[in-house]
Amino acid sequence: MGWELSDLPGINPSICTHRILMEEEVKPIRQQQRRLNPTLLDVVKKEVTKLLAAGIIYPISNSQWVSLVHVVPKKSGMTVTKNQHDELVPTRIQNSWRVCINYKRLNQATRKDHFLLPFIDQVLEKLVGKSHYCFLDGYSSYMQIHIALEDQHKTTFTFPFGTFAYTRLPFGLCNAPGTFQRCMTNIFSDLLHD
């Protein structure tokens, strides 16, 4: 259990490790950084500092794969406001920012993992007639999963204060959902089969 990223050691790599396997004859893509306005640059700098302190990213200078940072509004909560016709309409509140990496080019070159995610109705059917069940919410779930050492350089991103790569699984990689589900299936295997 942890209260912040630096408290979390992650899932033991012997249980689950993320791989980034490439399609045949793919050439690495190194994207050039883009300018960020000062407000967003400060948001990225704070996030990078937090991830660096937690050991989730590390400085890197020699990666052939470099992706771009994006900052998008994080929507949280709803309010009611009047529109141009003086009608009350529900409106999402944007009060913070989410820093993410655009792995589109890397994902295009990545060999796809076809691990099937379960259908929610099938999961719920397994609960029928059970007297007990619980709900688990993993804190920064993807970032609990380590990336194989030989693949970490492929997660490299750049912004004006440096170039960094992930040691843990970031959001946005095409095979992340499959890796996460495979990991959860492995961890809870004794509970999944009656």
Output the CA–CA distances (angstroms, integers) from residue 43 to 47, 59, 70, in the order listed: 6, 18, 11
Under DSSP, is residue 184 helix (H, G, I), strand (E, B) or coil?
helix
Residue 94 lies in a domain: no
Q: Any long-range contacts for 182-188 (C-beta under 8 Å, 24+ apart)? A: 182/16, 182/115, 183/11, 183/15, 183/16, 183/145, 186/15, 186/16, 187/11, 187/15, 187/16
User: In Å, how far from its chain's centre is CA 54?
Assistant: 15
Give a yes or no: residue 192 inside a domain: no
Q: Which domain holds residue 151?
A: 5-71+99-187
Q: Is residue 140 part of a domain?
A: yes
pLDDT digits 0-9 by tens, 34-64: 889 999 999 999 999 999 999 999 999 989 9
Looking at the domain assignment, is residue 81 inside a domain? no
Assigned token pair, 5: 């990223």
**Cβ neighbours of 147 (radius 10 Å):** 23
**CATH number, domain containing residue 139:** 3.10.10.10
| Number of domains composing the chain | 1
Quick check: is 105 in a domain?
A: yes
Pair of tokens at residue 177: 């959902």
CA-CA distance, 35 to 41, in Å (whole number)? 9
In this predicted model, what pLDDT tens digit does every residue of 58-106 receive, in sequence order? 999 989 999 999 998 887 767 778 888 988 888 777 678 899 999 999 9
